[in-house]
Structure formats: structure tokens, C-alpha cells
Amino acid sequence: MPSSEHAGGAPPSPQPEPLTTTTPVSAWSPWRAVVGFGVVSLAADMVYEGARSITGPLLGSLGASALVVGLVTGAGEAAALVLRLFFGSRVDRSGNYWGMTLAGYGLTAVCVPALAVTPFLGAAGLLVACALVLAERTGKAVRSPAKSTLLAHAAGPVGIGRGFGVHKALDQVGAFSGPLLVAGVAALSGALWPAMAVLAVPAVASMALLLWMRRRVGDPLGDEVRSAPAAPRLSVLAMGRTLPTRFWLFAAAAGLATAGLVTFGVISYHLVQDRVVAVAVVPVVYAAAMAAAAVAALVTGWLFDRWHARVLFALPFLVAAVPLLAFSNIVLVAVLGVLIWGAAVGVQDSTVKAFVAAVVPADRRATGYGLFAAVQGAAAVAGGATAGALYSRSIPALAVVVAASQLAALLLLVWTLAVRPAGPA
């Protein structure tokens, strides 16, 4: 891997390790496999991003306070991240990449449409809704390390930055259309539950597409793992100690960025409770944020393959701007804040993952993604609770706390790039 220094700057991040020389994920071309995963994610994102676009108002309509919304959405993001610690190492040991991917998408396909029944459960409605939100996010944790490993394997020959960027862009088409579908149904029906019910259609489509793709591409990556000599069973922490220093520094920087990035649940709660926009407009605003995420993923993914991880210096600045703008009572300012929030999400879900793939050995990528997500998850629950509590007391204080965390994230990112790779990752 290249390790030469750029004049006057930090050494570039390592190029992704060449992936195995066997067929990359399938007999399909690398781009066809990348696009296939993207189309599956498109359908699935219609489901869970459609639901997330209205989670804050839905929980609020069931009696939740801003603190409860912050805790539940923060804990949901934490579950989606921290639990990858266990599922990542497990899938690396078993090679069951497709099985875990299918199970995770299945949880999402069941839990989101089930939110439609919560308004009819009386006092239990809020509790059931919270449980379903957490279960759906658990599905994300189950599938993500396995799917990201398959995707990184497929994208290697075409550039991991570009592969993750294109996948994220397709993913965001669903993240854009799902909230618009929810907005349309909510506006026509005058209620939120029919919008949750209609999401059963893309949920079924996502599972059908995934099963079709699984049959078409086979499982050469999993076969490699299962046919290899049995490796010693190490604890997750023991495996973590074998990962590069740059990985852990970057995980800390990304964790601070995650903690500072206020959940959309709290933002949407503000938009509705302070009457900035009507309830039916919230999913439209969220859809616009997802479009911004798609653009940010494509641009930073393309730049990553040229400038390497230095493109990630933009992330702390994006995160720090969100509370200053998104919690305004002026519509245009608040919408600008939501668009910047979406751009930060796009960078986190694509280019950040590309850098993880670049510094972690190929045979430990799922474990690396799991450990990385665990750091982000712990930060997400702390950040969600902090945002929910400070929002009710002092938005300026929330902005100051977020700005301080992003300054620390920026310094850690500089440190990360200053550390030379010890050798081939």
C-alpha cells in the first residue's frame, strides 16, 4: 500500500487491500453486484426511512415527550450500531453473510408496518411503538456487518469509495421516495397509521429482491470462510486488539461525530411541536435531507478515491452546523439545517465506511465494522439523550456542546491521518 507523504501534508490513507482473487461475490461483474445491493437497499430504505421520517411525531402523538423521543431514537441508533459488535464477529467466524443479511432485512420488513397498529392499543401504544422502533434498528445491526462486507468485496475492483458512494446513492433513492410516500398517504388520510401500513408493500418487495439476488449470485465469500482451517476462537475485544491504531483513532473521531449529530427524531419533534411545518410536511423535509445525503455520498465517495480520508475533514463542520440551523423557528433556516444534517448522514454512511474498509484487513472487516459501530452506538445513545434533554432547556447550550465535540472529532481525525500505516492492513 502507498505510504509516501504528500508535500506539506499528512500521509494518505491506505488504499483498500486487494480483495480475494476468487470471483467477487458472484459471477456478476463488480458493478452489477454493487447495483444489485443498491436496489435491495432502495426498497428497504423506502420502508425504514419512511418510518423514521415520522417517528418523532408518531411517538409524540402517542404521548411521548421530547426527552422520551430523544432517548428512544438515540437508543435505536445505539442498538443499530452497538449490536454490530457481536453480529460482526459472529459472521466473520461463520461465513453466513447472506443468512445474516436476510435476517436483518426481515426484521425491518415486519416491524415497520406493525407500527400501524400502535394508535389502536390505548395506553400500551407508546410502549409497543418504542419496542418496534428498537427492534427495527436491531435488524439494521444484524444485517449491516455482513452486507457491508459483501459490498466491500464486490466494490474492490471498481474502487471502494466509488462503490460505497453509488450504493449509497441508490439507497437514498429509497430514502427519498419512502418519506414522500408517507407524506402523501398521511396528507390524504389525515392520520399517520395508514402511512405505516402502506410500507408493507416495499417491505415485501425488498425481501423478494434479496432472495432473488441471493439465488443469482451464490455465496463464494462465505464458502471461503467455511472451507478455511478453523481459526482460534478469540473474544471480540481480543480480535479488536489486532486491528490497527489508525482504526481506533478513526473510530473515536467518528463516534464524536455521531454523538454530535442530533437524531432526526428530535429535529422532527421540534418542527411539529413548535409549528415550524405541518405534520404532513415533515416527511417531505426528510426526503429532501435524503436527497442531500445521496449527493454528499457520491461526491465524497468520488473524492475519497482521489484525496483519500482528507475529504472527511468536512464532517465535523457539517455536524456542528446542524443545531444552529435545524432548531430555528424560521422555515427556510430550519430546512437548511435539515439538508446539512442529511449531507452529514450521507458521508457517515458511505465514505466513513470506505475508510474503515481501507484500514482493516479483508478477513476481519465484519469484525472491524462491528467494533466501529459499537463505538458509534455508545456515542449515539449519549448524544440522543443529551440532545433531548438540552433541547427542552437551552438550544444555545446544545449548539455549544455539539461544537465542542466536533472540535475534538476534528483533532482526532488529524491525528488519525498523521499516524503512518504499520504495513499492509
For position 309, what pLDDT does the model report? 75
Residue 8 banded pLDDT, cuts 50, 70, 90: very low
Mean pLDDT of 50-78: 84
Please indicate, yes or no, if residue 424 is contained in any of the structural domains. Answer: no
Please indicate, yes or no, if residue 145 is contained in any of the structural domains. Answer: yes
Most confident option among 80-84, 299-303, 364-368, 396-400: 396-400
Residue 2 banded pLDDT, cuts 50, 70, 90: very low
Please indicate, yes or no, if residue 16 is contained in any of the structural domains. Answer: no
Cβ distance 413 to 290 under 8 Å? no
Please indicate, yes or no, if residue 127 is contained in any of the structural domains. Answer: yes
How far is Cα 149 from Cα 13, in angstroms, rounded to an integer?
19
Please indicate, yes or no, if residue 15 is contained in any of the structural domains. Answer: no
Please indicate, yes or no, if residue 14 is contained in any of the structural domains. Answer: no
Beta strands in 364-406 (DSSP E): none
Encode pLDDT of 336-395 as tens digits.
999 999 999 888 877 787 788 778 876 677 778 778 878 887 887 788 778 878 887 888
Whether residue 284 has pLDDT greater than 80: yes
Please indicate, yes or no, if residue 410 is contained in any of the structural domains. Answer: yes
Angstrom CA distances, 46 to 15, 43, 198, 207, stand at: 33, 5, 11, 13
How far is Cα 117 from Cα 101, in angstroms, rounded to an integer?
27
Cβ distance 205 to 326 under 8 Å? no
Whether residue 197 has pLDDT greater than 90: yes
Cβ distance 11 to 3 under 8 Å? yes
Tally of domains within the chain: 1
Phi, psi of 276 (to 5 degrees): -70, -45
- Give me the chain's average pLDDT, please: 80
Whether residue 332 has pLDDT greater than 90: yes
The proportion of the chain whose per-residue pLDDT surpasses 70, expressed as a percent, equals 85
CATH of the domain at 194: 1.20.1250.20
**Parent domain of 200:** 30-227+234-418
Please indicate, yes or no, if residue 17 is contained in any of the structural domains. Answer: no
Q: Which residue bears the cell 446544545?
A: 398
Collect all residues with Cβ–Cβ distance below 8 Å to 374 and sequence separation of at least 6. Answer: 81, 82, 84, 85
DSSP, collapsed to helix, strand or coil, labels residue 359 as helix
